[in-house]
Structure 1
């Protein structure tokens, strides 16, 4: 067998496993809650790894190592900010959101939770948040499909469109049939592949570079400031902008929906430890891969044409072609896990939050599960259409979506969980204002170059939601009762 044959075999085996998990989840899915939220029965390990894999797309295996390879440890501030944000998300949001979404009319999506929690009789909040999710995640999904197409094009010389269709077909198949359970179970496999390969590449790679000391010496020869977290070129606003990525976690629908699906509050603590442990090992692996790559290519006198391929190239140099294929599968896993998570959230937004709110029809769970699957197919086809020409895909929306979701939903989620007086008008006005500020700021070069748009967007959303809520607040006995009931259950389950 040729080198490419071994690598392609590893990819095919990985794809078959993903489809097998999708079939298994399909047999366990009967109700809408099963399809959209896994029946609220996920264990700590599945929840933690699923949230991590859904969060860390190809950026973890290609973007971050590439940035570190070029600029050094100063690029690690984003990783530090994300780790802090993820930890606070698990600590503050996860337990409360798990309880509150069940207490508040068993809400199974973020928009339906806000609608039920704030008693929004106008349905404007639910529809607006559903539309935000639908629009941004559709383009987010298309960007993931582009990544899949380019992956097969660069790794195997496959035609871009063939690679795009191959990735899209597999990820759509297990998401469409297996729903949230399939997405979560496949994320576990994908998360494990990602962390194992991210640790294996630098651990074995350091033997090629002559050990720890020789590796450090080679890195310093390339750039003495490379191992400095605060080099002379670093600026305060640049560091703040990087760390501020962590704010985005509070408002990412495809991540916080995992908190709603965990079996109980008691499982959250274990899930937090597993999830943050996975994240730290993965990020350290990505950083180490970059530095080992710097040392290796310096010693060999080779110039790496594309720094974002350092993980792939090192893996192919170090390991047998089949293992190198597993490493390629790790990159594909990162892309596919994010696509599938976004697809299921987009489907739920379309059916649970827009279709039900507009038409208010009563139907069986079987009917809604069918519509959910059709929504996955519809969004996938549209996303593939957008991705068909990679040059026409608005890749900037990926970065904007993180800031947009963080600014629009983050403060509202936090206020809804910790403050009784948040109103539907406060939430709606804050959400819209945060999204607009993030959009305008991000599209104004003089502003975006100064500070990441999530910072002003988050602050504006928080302030406006707070002020408008104070002005429009009217005591509601049902809201007060649910808030107190949530607090009571939290205390009981934590003891």
Structure 2
């Protein structure tokens, strides 16, 4: 059989498994809360794998190795910042958010949590938060579709648009049908596939080299890649890199606090104490996976130069992982390895589609119509919303104007600036009020977006830094200048903090019973 035939067999097996999980989840999803949040019953391992897989996307297997291959270890600050940020998110946000979202009206979306936490009767906070989610996630979904198209270009030498349509269609089907459970359990499979592939590919490539030890000096001493890239400072994380660039790259970690598709996993856990086990699973997975991506780039500088292998993407070099796997393995094995990239792409897309769907229906449609709708009607509307956002994202992806890392970076900064400070302030500052929250959220989103779109400022530092800082300053000033929250809001804050403390002290605590009594 031809190489492409083997690849097709591997991918068909994978896609069939994803669809099977989707239809299995369909049978488990009877209520609207199940479709949106899985009934708040996620095991910490499932929550950790789902958060990790939906977080990293094609960026981990394509964007990061490409950036490291092209620019050098100065890009490693992104990975360091992300790892620290992910740990902090699990440590300080996960247990507190799980407790507070239960206490604050059993909130099932991030915008609804903000509204319930701050008692915003104007509904402006929830509406603006939902609009921000829809706007930035449309670009995020588009980045996944771009990655899917490029995946098929590299794997099959096929048509970009065909690949985009196939990947998008399967992702939309299992998300639309199975909801949160389908997204979470497919994420587990996808996360394990990504993890395995990121360990196997660089190790096998290293073993294939005549002199493996030279990987730590080759790129700095020789032109590498088929285009002859020269970078004497390849292994130096500081030389030739400005302090602003280092801070900007490391600041990617700040974005974790405000990513709705990640923090919603915290809200879906069984109880707050599960955050400790989730952190252990999630950070271990992340460190090993990022290490694999880093070594894919380092080893690739020697692998593609000495063997004169071609790299499909000669601009961003985002296909080096795909090209490396195809060279080394039997087509069936290579096909199975390459599905890890597809898994990364689809896991993130599905999570984002579901979050946008939830915001459209839970945070906008229900409020605008002001009607009590049945469970089946809400689920049907949510499925329709998934389809609409997928179509819009697909249209944007037809002619991509940026790299995968560029598209992800724009959306990541937008969410980190708009929601990150607000999540932290909502969880840890009793004095915060709705006026301060709205002012900070809008400021963070606008500053991040404008800063990133203006060449003169975007080249200075990554837009999440000014966006995050501006959000905090404005939120604090406006809050202190306006009326403090009502006594019931402050009392609820104390109850949520007490519940989080009780859960941390007693891992066997009956969480729902404690939430009712606290």
Once the 2 structures are TM-superposed, how far is the Cα of residue 212 of structure 1 from its aligned partner? 4.1
Matched, 1:168 2:168: yes
Matches within 5 A, 1:48-59: 48-59=48-59
Q: Secondary structure at the match of 1:357?
A: helix
2: CA distance, partners of 1:228 / 1:395: 22
Partner of residue 421, structure 2: 411
Matched, 1:328 2:338: yes
Partner of residue 140, structure 1: 140
Partner of residue 483, structure 2: 473
Q: Secondary structure at the match of 1:45?
A: helix
Asked if the contact 2:432/2:484 (under 8 Å) is kept, the reply is: no
1: CA distance, partners of 2:24 / 2:72: 44
Partner of residue 250, structure 1: 257
Asked if the contact 1:144/1:338 (under 8 Å) is kept, the reply is: yes
Partner of residue 2, structure 1: 2
1: CA distance, partners of 2:472 / 2:497: 23
Once the 2 structures are TM-superposed, how far is the Cα of residue 475 of structure 1 from its aligned partner? 4.0
Once the 2 structures are TM-superposed, how far is the Cα of residue 287 of structure 1 from its aligned partner? 0.7
Asked if the contact 2:432/2:485 (under 8 Å) is kept, the reply is: no
CA RMSD of aligned residues (A): 1.9
Partner of residue 227, structure 1: 235
Partner of residue 516, structure 2: none
Q: Secondary structure at the match of 1:226?
A: coil
Q: TM-score, normalised by structure 1?
A: 0.96
Distance 1:302 1:155, change over 3 A: closer
Q: 2:368 aligns with which of 349, 358, 361?
A: 358
Matched, 1:295 2:317: no
1: CA distance, partners of 2:119 / 2:204: 56
Q: Which sits farther off after the overlay, 436-445 or 305-314?
A: 305-314
Q: 2:464 aligns with which of 431, 454, 457?
A: 454
2: CA distance, partners of 1:474 / 1:12: 57
1: CA distance, partners of 2:164 / 2:404: 16
Q: Secondary structure at the match of 1:490?
A: helix
Q: Which sits farther off after the overlay, 374-383 or 182-191?
A: 374-383
Cα deviations by residue, 1:200-221 (Å, 9 ceiling, x for unpaired)? 0111111111364243354453
Distance 1:162 1:303, change over 3 A: closer
Partner of residue 192, structure 1: 192
2: CA distance, partners of 1:81 / 1:455: 13
Partner of residue 34, structure 1: 34
Asked if the contact 2:439/2:475 (under 8 Å) is kept, the reply is: yes
Once the 2 structures are TM-superposed, how far is the Cα of residue 390 of structure 1 from its aligned partner? 4.3
Partner of residue 474, structure 2: 464
Matched, 1:432 2:442: yes
Distance 1:35 1:10, change over 3 A: same
Question: Structure 2: which 5+ residue stretches go unaligned?
Answer: 223-230, 506-518
Cα deviations by residue, 1:423-472 (Å, 9 ceiling, x for unpaired)? 11110011111111112211222211111111111111111111111122
Partner of residue 281, structure 1: 288
Distance 1:42 1:211, change over 3 A: farther
Matched, 1:377 2:395: no
Asked if the contact 1:139/1:394 (under 8 Å) is kept, the reply is: no
2: CA distance, partners of 1:392 / 1:319: 31
1: CA distance, partners of 2:382 / 2:199: 38
Distance 1:485 1:84, change over 3 A: same
Q: Secondary structure at the match of 1:416?
A: helix
1: CA distance, partners of 2:347 / 2:424: 26
